[in-house]
Chain A
Amino acid sequence: METTLSIIIGFMIIGGLFALNAKDLLSAVISCGVVGYGLVICFLLLKAPDLAIVQIVVETVTLIIMIAVVLNSSREELKEKISLKLEGISYINTRYAANIAVVVVFTLLLLFFFGESIDILTPFGEHTTRMSTAYIENAANQTGSANLVTGVVFDFRGYDTLGEVTILFTAVIGILTILRIKGRK
């Protein structure tokens, strides 16, 4: 299964890279869809059908809205004049040297701690927390819900769901406000 996942994730990375470098905005948006629909297959392979249903519908709706936005705006990328003011300055100065040194140091630190922590972790796909084991054993009896995800989302993690719903409501209010002000002018 890890080989299949790696192939799909490779395709998603190629799609993302193409979206960054595409000249036409429409093809960039469509190649962003590769990332979303690849994620759906990943969720299905990792046995999370709840997330797969949500992802495939939300991805489609988002694609429709983004294509509508792209077709209304200018499809060509804006040609900004990037002027590098490097002529008068010598290339080796202390600021560049400090930047590069900081980047190298942090990369080495990250690799060191990654190598330290990869030995302690359990293999891919096995959860490490005791909390999830307790949820899997007790959720069906305590909440009465046969679907454990719904039981956790609406009973054990009720505050979480309240926050999500509030975020959605706030987002809609913000979008309506912005669009109304622009429509009046």
Chain B
Amino acid sequence: MTIIVKTVTKIIVGVTFLYGIYIISHGHLTPGGGFAGGAIIAGAFILLVLAFGSDVLKLKAREEGSSTFESLAILGFLLLSIIGLFIGAKVFFYNYLPKGTVGELISAGVIPLYNIVVGIEVAAALITIFLALVIYKEEES
């Protein structure tokens, strides 16, 4: 890409990434949540790959890392929900942490943790799909 695109990308990518983290961490207070924030983070990474090309970053190692993170995230989601089977009312998906007051950042029990785990899962899944397409295209040529 041209130098204009590269410079604008350098300025924008960090802000986009931070915005995704904000959407995930405030998912129980403002509109958004794990799915939206994860998709925004994946969008920031895709913008980086599109602007700087695939030869700068070592994409093969990145793809293995992102699929590892995806598997770990879905394991974490299952673990968080299974812990509810052993604590308190002993129900699947039980909210076992203290709820706190409605509207503060640390409140709503396990829901912020679910948000973070689902955000990692969605971001890693979209990044993995994009990287798989890019890697396949390079291996073919």
Q: Mark B57-89, 1 if CB is under 8 A from A, else 0.
A: 000000000010011001001100100000000
Is A111 interfacial (CB-CB < 8 Å)?
A: no
Chosen A-B contacts, 25 in total, with CB atoms closer than 8 Å, are A53-B23, A57-B36, A64-B50, A65-B133, A140-B102, A143-B95, A143-B109, A144-B95, A144-B107, A146-B28, A146-B108, A147-B27, A153-B33, A154-B114, A155-B95, A161-B114, A161-B118, A165-B118, A166-B74, A168-B121, A169-B74, A172-B128, A176-B67, A182-B136, A183-B135
Is B52 interfacial (CB-CB < 8 Å)?
A: no
Q: How many A-B residue pairs have CB under 8 A?
A: 133
Q: Mark B113-135, 1 if CB is under 8 A from A, else 0.
A: 01100100110011011101101
What is the interface of chain B mostly: helix, strand, loop, or mixed? helix
Is A145 interfacial (CB-CB < 8 Å)?
A: yes
Is A49 interfacial (CB-CB < 8 Å)?
A: yes
Give residues in B with beta carbon < 8 Å to A.
23, 27-33, 35-36, 39-40, 42-43, 46, 50, 67, 70-71, 74, 77-78, 81, 92-93, 95, 99-100, 102-103, 107-111, 114-115, 118, 121-122, 125-126, 128-130, 132-133, 135-137, 139-140
Cβ contact of B139, chosen from A143, A161, A171, A183, cutoff 8 A:
A183
- With contact pairs A50-B33, A158-B93 given, residues A172 and B70 touching in the complex (Cβ less than 8 Å): yes
Whether the Cβ atoms of B93 and A179 lie closer than 8 Å is: no
**Least Cβ–Cβ distance between A173 and chain B, in angstroms:** 9
Find chain A residues with CB under 8 A from B122 CB.
168
Find chain B residues with CB under 8 A from A175 CB.
128-129, 132
Is A6 interfacial (CB-CB < 8 Å)?
A: no
Find chain A residues with CB under 8 A from B74 CB.
165-166, 169
Most A CB atoms within 10 A — which of B35, B107, B109, B115? B35
**Least Cβ–Cβ distance between B29 and chain A, in angstroms:** 5
